[in-house]
A and B are shown apart, each in its own frame.
Chain A
Amino acid sequence: MTGELPGPAPEERPHPSGRRNKQGIRIDPQAEAEPEVRREVLSALVDHEPGVLAEVSGLFARRQFNIESLTVGPTAAEGLARMTIVVEETDPGVEQVKRQLRKLVPVHAVRELDAATERELALIKVGDDDPAGVAAVAEMYGGEAVEAGPEVVTVELTGTEAEIDAAVEAFERFGVREVARTGTAALAGGTEFTAYDDTTTDD
């Protein structure tokens, strides 16, 4: 091969000592720390039309964002649906998710919810060997048996993600056959509107 160019070789050149981390942030090599992953609840107001769910989930898949859950349903406004997305990402990751979501044409607003009301619904099907025990645990978690068939009882309960996790664990001793969970739905706390976009100031 040919094509050599004149000039000092790499080791003959001055090199700066600074460095950046994987997120492209300049770091102090002495105090290097990877950003921590946090759980964030995002709420997005989107057009209620075919293809939007595919567009949003495609974005998550392609950019390798970690989603814990994604729920979608109609709102009080005709033509608009709300998506509640729980992500587990670093700080820069959460910011990227929000910005990429905002860019999608069917997305009207994206908001990170701090003091939100969060709920998830779960259906838990357990064995019926101990109906009184099942009823007691269900009551403890604010749930109720919605179907009692031969050999099984289906309990319905709502709560935060952590409460449902705890309930499922508590039901283990009766033999959990199957669980169906909706994923988290959330609204901003108090009088705040969940639908506000927290980056645009013109609304």
Chain B
Amino acid sequence: MSESEPERTTEREAETLPTGASSVVTALEDAGVTAAFGVQGGAIMPIYDALYQSDIHHVTMAHEQGAAHAADAYGAVTGEPGVCLATSGPGATNLVTGIADADMDSEPMLALTGQVATDMVGNDAFQEADTTGITRPVTKSSYFASDPDTVGDTVGEAFALARDGRQGPTLVDLPKDVSNAEDVARPGPAEGPETHVVPDEADAEEVSRAAHALADAERPAILAGGGVIKGEATDELRQFAIDHGIPVITTMPGVGAFDETHDLAMEMAGMHGTGYANMAITHCDVLLGVGTRFDDRLTGGVDTFAPEAEVIHVDIDASEISKNVHADYPLVGDASTVLRQLDDALPRAPDAEGWRDQCRHWKEEYPMDYDAPEDEPLKPQFVVEAFDEATDADAIVTTGVGQHQMWAVQYWTFTEPRTWISSHGLGTMGYGLPAAIGAKVAAPDQEVVCFDGDGSFLMTVQGLSVAVRENLDLTVCVLNNEAVGMVRQWQDAFFEGRRMASEYPWGPDFATLAEAFGAEGFTLDDYDDVADTIAAARDYDGPSVIDCHIDPREDVYPMVASGGANGRFALQEEHL
């Protein structure tokens, strides 16, 4: 490519559309968008006016943060960008947490924000914020639409960019005069920017080297990240692991990439991963990481991470290679394509019978057991397992952030991709309920269960009004420990038990609160009622909330201290 690149030529029909806003909505429809989540407001009103004529189902949210989380979860469930809308200024800034969350978890999402008229931009006009400036660090790209004749193309480009390659959020800021401009050109089909080159096959020689390393391994392991699910490579990964007898560990976003009931499943590794996953990842000699960024919650201290493993790293984003953990065999490409390449190049399955026995032994040695004495308050693990038993394999689980999130991921047995929807990278309290809304809109035929914390639930509880309005049949189970429990656990372990600002001397009655919103409320605090209450909440046709009073003393284990060695996971506080 020299400096004088040819101009991209796009065939454009002479057809015009009435306004810039109608061009935006046409671009969304052409891209296949059928649902959007948002909140009205001055600068975005022209876009909403154009939506008035559209078949796109708009879900009116109670808060823009919820709109962003709902769009994020919609994207996580469908694989196509979820769309959220907000007005300028506070509308846009309220979206930011949700955009950053989608960015950290590589969720496909398109945010459309209203903006003051172009000639007012930069003047601190009413409800003006530098939205592209604020969101640039937390998006794949943040566009400022300045031309009514190309605004629809820009929206299409942002949509394609969010969807293609390593997925993520994009944003288009829409000044009011651009949206209101009349007689604008019809947008062309959604196409990503030409500079966004998406790799497919990995370098064949590198694949061959990696395949030989894997074949020679004595203690091989696969680490499946969220990229396996987002790259639609779940089938290839399962096939590869099973055909060649390689144990599979997952990251937290990778939960669902492998069937947790399978003999080779080691489940999630990292801070609150299983003991056996952390043993396997610490002792393996070749680690095939697919679609993972080797986040610090997974690796613990990098000095002790898989310290004897040669790392094969498959990722569609070249900038992830050797960013956190050095890749001995970097394979940049699409996860499913590269797994097929590896399969073809593998000279033989690794001879790993002894290693598989060792992994099985670790599963027995470090079981995820817990005590649930009848005479003590309810254990959250029991409630999660009871829910799991009551529901089908395709039920979708969303969560807030904290201990309840970890119990949910540890004690629910995930077998299918796109059923575990959580805030992994950013760790955003309040994600659970709006994510459940987005998931239910995306998959109306699948059951949706949100495990929330009492602290997390309060951050976005207004979403209940949306769930009731939209008659979304979802169930929220608040694992109520009358505390921001995860903080309380850390205070006990690392701050000599000084429980500053972590316990709630008083909290709302969530069942009554649910009813005030028009949802069905339940209270649960007895083992004898668990099955019946879960059944009643699930039977209710509409949103229901179970205020489940759990043992406030319960802690999450295993635990790897921040920056610690995975192999030294604690099974109780005394080990920390």
Contact = CB atoms under 8 A, between A and B. Distances in A.
B195 A3 contact: no
A80 B317 CA distance: 25
A1 B555 contact: yes
B29 interface: no
Interface in A121-147: none
B3 A14 contact: no
Contacts of B303: 19-22
B569 A10 contact: yes
A190 interface: no
Interface string A1-15: 111111111100111
A111 B370 CA distance: 56
Given A3-B557, A23-B326, A24-B325, A100 B319 contact: yes
Interface stretch (A54-62, A153-161, A169-177): A54-62
Interface stretch (A65-73, A101-109, A112-120): A101-109
B575 A77 contact: no
B35 to A, nearest CB: 26
A105 B195 contact: yes
A22 B573 CA distance: 28
A75 to B, nearest CB: 5
A195 B322 contact: no
Interface of A: 1-10, 13-26, 45, 50-51, 54-55, 58, 62, 75-77, 80, 92, 95-96, 99-100, 102-109, 193, 195-197, 199-200, 203
B553 A2 contact: yes
8 smallest beta-carbon distances between A and B, as pairs: A18-B307, A99-B319, A4-B572, A24-B325, A3-B555, A77-B3, A7-B366, A25-B326
A92 B326 CA distance: 9
Contact of B304 (A19, A106, A108, A197): A19
Nearest to B302: A24
Centre residue among A17, A77, A102, A103 by max chain B CB count within 10 A: A103
A103 B106 CA distance: 14
B489 interface: yes
Contact of B568 (A6, A10, A96): A10
A81 to B, nearest CB: 10
A14 B567 CA distance: 8
B139 to A, nearest CB: 10
B193 A105 contact: yes
Interface residues of B, number: 63
Given A10-B569, A10-B575, A20-B303, A5 B283 contact: no
Contacts of B368: 5
A22 B309 CA distance: 16
A3 B404 CA distance: 13
Given A20-B307, A26-B307, A102 B1 contact: no
A193 B2 CA distance: 7
Interface in B542-576: 551, 553-558, 565, 567-573, 575
A183 B571 CA distance: 55
Interface stretch (B129-137, B412-420, B509-517): B129-137
B365 interface: yes
12 contacts: A4-B557, A6-B369, A13-B568, A15-B565, A24-B294, A24-B305, A55-B136, A75-B3, A76-B3, A100-B319, A103-B318, A200-B197
A120 B545 CA distance: 66
Dominant SS at the B interface?
loop
Contact of B572 (A3, A58, A197, A199): A3
A20 B322 CA distance: 12
Interface of B: 1-5, 132-133, 136-137, 140-141, 144, 161, 193, 195-197, 275, 279, 282-283, 294, 302-305, 307-309, 317-319, 321-326, 365-371, 489, 492, 551, 553-558, 565, 567-573, 575
A96 B319 CA distance: 6
Contact of B1 (A10, A20, A109): A109
B108 to A, nearest CB: 16
A83 to B, nearest CB: 14
B318 A3 contact: no
Nearest to B274: A5
B275 to A, nearest CB: 6
A94 to B, nearest CB: 12
B556 A24 contact: no
A3 B554 contact: yes
B369 A16 contact: no
Contacts of A55: 136
A54 B144 CA distance: 14
B283 A16 contact: yes
Contacts of B132: 51
A5 B322 contact: no
A55 B133 CA distance: 9
A100 B140 CA distance: 11
A23 B326 CA distance: 7
Nearest to B307: A18
Contact of A6 (B324, B326, B366): B366
Give the one of A14, A24, A197 with max B CB within 10 A: A24
A37 B565 CA distance: 28
Contacts of B305: 20, 24
Contacts of A8: 365
Contacts of B554: 1-3
A4 B379 CA distance: 13
B556 A105 contact: no
Contacts of A197: 1
A103 B140 CA distance: 9
Given A6-B367, A95-B322, A108-B1, 19 more contacts: A2-B553, A3-B554, A5-B366, A7-B366, A10-B570, A15-B282, A15-B568, A16-B282, A20-B303, A51-B132, A51-B144, A75-B3, A77-B5, A80-B3, A92-B326, A99-B318, A100-B319, A105-B141, A195-B2
B136 A54 contact: yes
A1 B573 contact: yes
Contact of B492 (A1, A23, A103, A203): A1
A19 B326 CA distance: 12
